[in-house]
């Protein structure tokens, strides 16, 4: 009920590129952020006055392009799928955001990032690797910086694993739950998980 009301009262980004990218994601069945999720992330970037964002998981470039269009941040984004990487590159050119977004092709487990002054790291890739990504990229984050993670509620399945039939799905959901416990218990971060979008967390580096 609340959700339907908010969908009507809130104003999603009104931009032809946003509509085009959403359509493309729908046709290709790419799991991009929800309106609520992307708005939350963009508000965070603005509140935090973030200048440098590192994203793990570009897909077609939807979230990268929106961050670039609607904030002052520069975005570095990692994608391992070459077809999606190319699609994202052409979308970024089309959106005229090549000056604000740098795409890296490769598995985030292998890609080396040298800079240690990122303001925000946004993890939105293979859920089974979240702990590794968190540990690996923490060193690229400033003190006081944020790690934001997506899909921590995975369409309700994390709260209700008993309803899941598939063994693989059950395993994956177990891993997400493990990650959730990992971040809230991490001594070097203050973390909280929210029922926003598909489940988003903010972890603040102490």
Question: Footprint of ligand SAH on this chain (CB under 6 A)?
Answer: 31-33, 57, 59, 62-63, 78-81, 84, 107-109, 124-126, 129
Neighbours of 7 (CB within 10 A): 11
Distance in angstroms (rounded) separating the CA atoms of residues 9 and 27: 27
Q: Which is nearest to 189 in space by CA: 130, 125, 135, 153?
A: 135
Minimum Å gap between C-beta 86 and ligand SAH is 12
Minimum Å gap between C-beta 61 and ligand SAH is 7
Distance in angstroms (rounded) separating the CA atoms of residues 130 and 182: 10
Cβ closest to ligand SAH, residue 130 vs residue 189: 130
Cβ closest to ligand SAH, residue 46 vs residue 206: 46
Minimum Å gap between C-beta 137 and ligand SAH is 11
Contact flag: residue 55 with Mg ion (CB under 5 A): no
Residue 83 CA to chain centroid, in angstroms?
Answer: 19
DSSP assignment letter at 107 = -
Distance in angstroms (rounded) separating the CA atoms of residues 98 and 82: 18
Structure-token pair, residue 187 = 């001594």
User: Which of 151, 180, 191, 203 is in the footprint of Mg ion by CB under 5 A?
Assistant: 151
The binder of 125, among ligand SAH, Mg ion, none, by C-beta within 5 to 8 A per type, is ligand SAH
Q: Which helix (H) or strand (E) holds 194?
A: strand 189-194
User: Which of 124, 127, 158, 196 is in the footprint of Mg ion by CB under 5 A?
Assistant: 124
Cβ closest to ligand SAH, residue 126 vs residue 164: 126
Minimum Å gap between C-beta 68 and ligand SAH is 12
């Amino acid at each position: 009920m609340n959700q339907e009301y908010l969908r009507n009262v809130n104003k999603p980004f009104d931009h032809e590129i946003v509509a085009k990218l959403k359509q493309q994601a729908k046709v290709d069945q790419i799991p991009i952020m929800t309106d609520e999720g992307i708005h939350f992330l963009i508000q965070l970037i603005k509140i935090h006055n973030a200048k440098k964002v590192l994203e793990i998981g570009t897909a077609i470039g939807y979230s990268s392009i929106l961050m670039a269009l609607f904030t002052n941040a520069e975005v570095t984004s990692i994608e391992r799928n070459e077809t999606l990487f190319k699609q994202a590159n052409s979308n970024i050119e089309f959106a005229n955001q090549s000056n604000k977004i740098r795409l890296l092709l490769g598995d985030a487990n292998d890609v080396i990032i040298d800079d240690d002054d990122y303001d925000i790291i946004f993890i939105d890739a293979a859920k089974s690797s979240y702990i590794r990504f968190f540990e690996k990229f923490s060193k690229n984050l400033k003190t006081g910086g944020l790690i934001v993670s997506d899909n921590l509620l995975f369409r309700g399945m994390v709260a209700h694993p008993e309803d899941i039939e598939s063994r693989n799905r059950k395993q994956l959901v177990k891993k997400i739950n493990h990650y959730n416990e990992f971040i809230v218990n991490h001594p070097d971060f203050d973390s909280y998980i929210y029922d926003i979008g598909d489940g988003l967390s903010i972890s603040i580096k102490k």
